[in-house]
Amino acid sequence: MNIRDFKTSLYKEMAGMIKALDNPRRLEILDLLAQGPVPVEYIAVNTNLSVANASQHLQVLKNSYLVESERRGKYNYYKLANQQVFNAWCAIRRLGFSQNEEIFELLDSFRKERGYLKTVSTEDLIKMIREDSVVVIDVRPEEEFKNGHIENALSFPRKDLQHRMNELPSDREIVAYCRGPLCEMADDAVEMLNKNGYSASRLEKGYPDWAASQHPTQKE
């Protein structure tokens, strides 16, 4: 193989992996799989896809070496192939925010519609935890909480928050987090808490980013 053919083959393989990401549903699936291994049925429900369509997208990601699967009983569980895949997703996300003004405007508009929502950085949350001045709640579904969560965080799935709100102290700051900066569950939770007299804010990122930075986590 001459040098030209060699380089063409290399770039073709690289382009194939990038092409697998050229779909909004697959990016959403990567964001979901960053929370931990889940079966295709769970992916379908959480992305508003049919099981057949979710399976097709997963197969594309798997053929591009971005996703792996393992058999657990009668179910196939899917997960990100490795940490590098999550790092690549984070890089795409950062690139989108820095280079595409429309992405930032969409997110900003979405949050302004819900009134003023205060965000907390990872560094600020770490300080608040050390000072014992905060209650941290995980508003993702319980399945994702069990796969891993911020150390000592409480599980308050978004769908249950309305009727469980009285379990939270009204005299302490509450920080809610979810899957990441593109996830709206924490925004919804903070809006609901603030309307009911709580002082609440959302973590600007999500659990996978927290775990990737090797901050303390727990797993059920």
SS3 readout for the chain: CCHHHHHHHHHHHHHHHHHHCCCHHHHHHHHHHCCCCEEHHHHHHHHCCCHHHHHHHHHHHHHCCCEEEEEECCEEEEEECCHHHHHHHHHHHHHHHHHCHHHHHHHHHHHHCCCCCCEECHHHHHHHHHCCCEEEEECCCHHHHHHCEECCCEECCHHHHHHHHHHCCCCCEEEEEECCCCCCHHHHHHHHHHHCCCCEEEEEEEHHHHHHCCCCEECC
How far is it between the farthest Cα atoms of the chain? 71
The single residue of 38, 54, 178, 190 carrying the catalytic annotation is 178
Nearest to 186 by CA among 118, 96, 125, 93: 118
183 annotated active-site: no
Report the catalytic residues: 178
